[in-house]
Amino acid sequence: MFSSFMIAADKSGSGKTTLTTGIIRYLTRTGRTVAPFKCGPDYIDTLHLERASGRKAYNLDSVMLSRGTVCNVYAHGCDGADAAVIEGVMGVLDGVSHTDFKGSSADIAAVTNVPCVLVVDCSGSSYTAAAVVRGITELGRMRIAGVVLNNIASERHALLVRSAVETHTDCKVLGTLPKNSENLLGSRHLGIKTAMEIDESYLDACADFASANVDIDGLLSLCSAERPACVQEPAVKPDRVAYVAYDKAFQFYYNSNMEFLTSQGFDVKFFSPLAGDGIDGADFVYIGGGYPELYAKELSESRTAKIIKDYAESGGKLYAECGGLMFLSRGIHTDSGFFQMSGVFDCETRMCARRQALGYVSAELVKDCIMGNRGQSNIGHEFHYSAMEGYSGEYAYELTRITDGKKSSDGLIYKNTFAAYTHLHFLCDNPLIKNMIRS
């Protein structure tokens, strides 16, 4: 029997990441093959789900991707699995539109035809939780397979909330989570610790926690479904080499992006700037986001910085996002001082106490370059705490934030190197990253 469901929540911080990780780990530990997914553009949670399942996790994003592509990514990820578990994003109705909730967990649930398990934060309330569940169910027009009550202070509190929810809604309460039990992970400005920073005992603790407090077998029976049909694309014989930076400093990538490179005839190889790896024979280099500021000293001493500078100077094709842009600058200002980077671009970056950008943007080219022609555009996503300093050159992008229309600039070009704070999904219908990869 195949089962599929989404763990969504009434708001951020309601415990959905811990619960999703725990359920996936429990199912995997008991012999199931689990297909993990994450709604939206988040990288960190996706890596935790990957660690918990031992299987590639895919992002389902209905803002950067068409609805048809979201369905294809979902079907591809489900291939060969006994269950599919999707972690929601933010509050269940939080997206880029207040009218149709585009980009929200509810939107992804509708696109994939998957029921939701709704996690509700019950701290400071009891019967009101029924109104929250009923309102979400009616406004989101979604299937709620069941409800998990979080931040329950006592058995009496659990009884009060359970009674109200099951009396005033059609939803069954599948579990109750004790107060303050979700804080199993440390945090940092971009979110919880990365999957590379935790050990197996944390994942097993999440599994024990989930199985002790949630009726997982009951959940599976409520969410049985037909496995989506997956169309297998014919394999492409590689005739080029793409090097992708991957280590503790650079680890924010969509698995779909790697697979897109393979579909375009690239043999994808991973290299570690922290380890001083080279990129011999590269036809394309991709340096994604991550935490370069945490490893700035090691990166400044790595021979890879000079290798990347020489590659860019030679006209090699190089694409960098966010943390990758920071590595291509002259250096990074951190609390511990200034550390030199590769110096491909004549600018510096500085870590800031406050977040500098967050949200989906339309990135329109304002000049012709390796990414395409002036006027072409892409939907992307920004999330960073660093800021660029000392750059006097032209920008390639005019950014327009999707939610409020705010304008800004992004995108640096040097020969065949392009770097920006904006993250792109390579399966998007927009042409920019495809122009660069296919040129």
- pLDDT in the model for residue 201: 85
Mean pLDDT in the chain?
93
Length of the chain: 439
- pLDDT in the model for residue 190: 41
Q: 61-99 pLDDT, tens per residue?
A: 999 999 999 999 999 999 999 999 999 999 999 999 999
Q: 188-207 pLDDT, tens per residue?
A: 444 455 656 667 888 998 99
The region, left, alpha or beta by phi > 0 then psi within -120 to 50, assigned to residue 242 is: beta
Does the pLDDT at position 261 exceed 80?
yes
Please give the angle made by the CA atoms of 170, 74 and 362, to the nearest 5 degrees: 100
Q: How confident is the model at residue 121 (pLDDT cuts 50, 70, 90)?
A: very high
- pLDDT in the model for residue 191: 47
Phi–psi pair at 30, nearest 5 degrees: -100, 20
Q: 271-325 pLDDT, tens per residue?
A: 999 999 999 999 999 999 999 999 999 999 999 999 999 999 999 999 999 999 9
What is the percent of the chain where pLDDT is above 90? Answer: 86
Choice among 116, 122, 206, 322 that is catalytic: 322
Q: Round to whole Å and give the CA distance between 299 and 274.
A: 6
The residues, any chain, with a CB within 8 Å of residue 333's CB and separated by 6 or more, are 348, 349, 350, 351, 389
Question: For this structure, is 171 an active site residue?
Answer: no
What is the DSSP pairing of strand 357-365 with strand 318-321?
A: unpaired
Q: 132-170 pLDDT, tens per residue?
A: 999 999 998 889 999 999 999 999 999 999 999 999 999
Q: Round to whole Å and give the CA distance between 288 and 369.
A: 20
Q: Where are the alpha helices (DSSP H) in 36-125?
A: 44-53, 67-78, 105-112
Q: 236-247 pLDDT, tens per residue?
A: 899 999 999 999
Does the pLDDT at position 399 exceed 70?
yes
